[in-house]
Amino acid sequence: MTDNVPDFPLDHLALMGQADAAALIIQKQVYSFKELNLRIGRLAFLLKAAGLQKGDRVAAWTAKGLIACIMPLAAVRAGYIYVPINPLLKTPQLAHIMADSGAKLLITNAARAKSLGEGDLSADVRIWDEANITAQLDPDDAPYLDPLDTDFDTQQLAAILYTSGSTGRPKGVMLSHRNLTLGAVSVASYLKLQPDDRLLAVLPLSFDYGQNQLLSAWRAGACAVPLDYLTPRDVIKACARHQITTLAAVPPLWVQLTEMVWPSEATAAMRRLTNSGGALTPVLVRELRRIFGGKTDIYAMYGLTEAFRSTYLDPALIDDNPVSMGRAIPFAEIMVVRADGSAAGPDEQGELVHAGPLVAQGYWQDAERTAERFKPAPDFSVHGGMAVYSGDTVRRDRDGLLYFVGRDDAMIKTSGNRVSPTEIEEAAVQSGIIAEACALGRKDVRLGEAIILFVRAVNGQAGEAALRSHMKAVLPNFMQPAEIIWLDVFPKNANGKLDRTALQSRL
């Protein structure tokens, strides 16, 4: 592990490639690095002209258009902190993130703006129309904020990324310039990205894994191709159309993609596949090999938003170790820690603890949850300082390869998303139909975990159609229960709390 890479402002990633080389392709529009930097500067000027205070939060709730792609860099160039919001989220989740972050400005499209009701946003929040702002970035005489005018320090906050916790609503992970720039440097390095690479960005840009697709590509001087897809076939068509060399996905999408027919023009240029958000299986690795052959490297990875990324497996090892998490990525120190704080031995289980410069600064305005997850590194740590205690149990074999054992919290990992059971339960109860609810995950080949919702109806009157209608109105598709189980009485433990273990045993 080393951290001797010079620090630089996040927005300088737009300067890493050759001026005339392609940096971003959105549909049929190709932006060179020069054009990318100009549009970042123009958007930064508009943001700064809004008259907000340095360090204020600004948000975007948009699909993968130009604004969503350049906001991470434009916001910090203007002196603000960026809050990306997944466009799949519904108004209740948006309202929570906006209120919790205190964002003063939201960029979204007209349809999403119309969906906002009275009280969803604070009265002082400004709403900018995405199409109008995008149009202002094209004129050659549009005002521009130069990247050399960026005022930053290493630990200055650059972004707040919201991620679900095992209980309660999403929490904001505070990421600095250094977290994000070194994350880009690290991934570009171990993936061996080159200036002639083209990365298809199919993952949400509101996630650290998704956002890094852009940042690591630009660090390498390569080109990112964002794609909002409706079906797996759209992904395959885009790979062929743009001669994609790098494709990142989560296991449920890989399962869907391996069930499709891949024409040779879609696989010919592919150099690497990367996976996170859940473990690959031996069957899935074999299927990817069948489609892409031995010329394409397969990278298995493990990460958590609180430290961006922790491990990757050298692709030369994946055929013999398909379920391994690999070893630490550059700039990460990964430890396996016993309950007493000492180092676990070979093949001994312990908690994965991550130290080093990729560790985030904690949770936004949440000292209690920050103290639970961010603690001083173990005494045997080489790097020291604050570390992230993942809550995940792992083991390290005698060759130094890490293996995931289990998740200690109650999170449901479905379709590559970490879903809070509490958020689903709260939504069900808010319907007025449900008196009690408990959401659990059940293993599922396609989804990773399917959401199973146990409910007890108010006055014993079950109304599944009405409940599902309510859930669809307030929660995104990936948070919808696959099955609803109606109970007359919920099991309770000795403390009078709902007995999740007893319900889990029914699955």
What is the DSSP annotation of 87-99? TTS-HHHHHHHHH
pLDDT in tens, 89-143: 899 999 999 999 999 999 999 999 999 998 999 999 999 999 999 999 999 999 9
pLDDT of residue 231: 92
* Residue with the larger pLDDT of the pair 24 and 406: 24
pLDDT above 90 (res 158): yes
- Using one digit for the tens of pLDDT, what is the confidence trace for 167-183? 457 899 999 999 999 99
What share of the chain has pLDDT > 90, as a percent? 74
- Does pLDDT of 496 surpass 60? no
What pLDDT was estimated at residue 282? 86
Give the type of residue at 75: A
**pLDDT for residue 5:** 60
* pLDDT, averaged across the chain: 92
pLDDT tens-digit series, residues 243-284: 999 999 988 789 889 989 999 999 999 999 999 877 788 888
Q: Please name which of 324, 243, 257 lies closest in space to residue 287, comparing C-alpha atoms.
A: 257
pLDDT tens across 347-389, in order?
Answer: 999 999 999 999 999 999 999 999 999 999 999 999 999 999 9
pLDDT at residue 361, as a whole number: 97
Given a cut of 50, is residue 29 above it in pLDDT?
Answer: yes
Window from 5-14, 53-62, 339-348 with minimum mean pLDDT: 5-14
pLDDT in tens, 130-148: 999 999 999 999 999 998 7
pLDDT of res. 462:
76
Whole-number pLDDT of residue 459: 75
Per-residue pLDDT, 436:
83
Q: How far apart are the C-alpha atoms of 387 and 2, rounded to whole Å?
A: 16
pLDDT band at 4 (very low <50, low <70, confident <90, very high): low
Cβ atoms of residues 100 and 165 within 8 Å: no
- Region of residue 70 (left: phi > 0; alpha: psi -120 to 50; beta: else): alpha
Where is 238: in which H helix or E strand?
Answer: helix 232-242
Please tell me the predicted confidence (pLDDT) of residue 491. Answer: 87
Note the pLDDT tens digit of each residue in 191-219: 999 999 999 999 999 988 999 999 999 99
Confidence bin at 489 (pLDDT 50/70/90): confident
How would you classify the pairing of strands 483-486 and 448-457?
Answer: parallel
Residue 333 one-letter amino acid: E
Q: Which domains does the chain have, with CATH numbers?
A: 412-505 (3.30.300.30)
Question: Which pLDDT score is estimated for 503?
Answer: 92
Mean pLDDT of 228-246: 96
pLDDT at 319: 93
Residue 12 pLDDT: 92
In this predicted structure, the answer to whether residue 423 has a pLDDT above a threshold of 60 is yes
- 464-474 and 421-430 helices cross at what angle (nearest 10)? 120
pTM exceeds cut of 0.85: yes
- Cα-Cα-Cα-Cα torsion 343, 349, 352, 353, nearest 10 degrees, comes to -20
Give residue 1's pLDDT. Answer: 44
As a whole number, mean pLDDT of residues 220-233 equals 96
Q: Is the pLDDT of residue 493 over 70?
A: no
Percent of the chain with pLDDT strictly greater than 70: 96
**Residue range 321-336: average pLDDT?**
96
Which amino acid, 502? A
What is the number of other CB atoms lying within 10 angstroms of the CB of residue 376?
A: 12
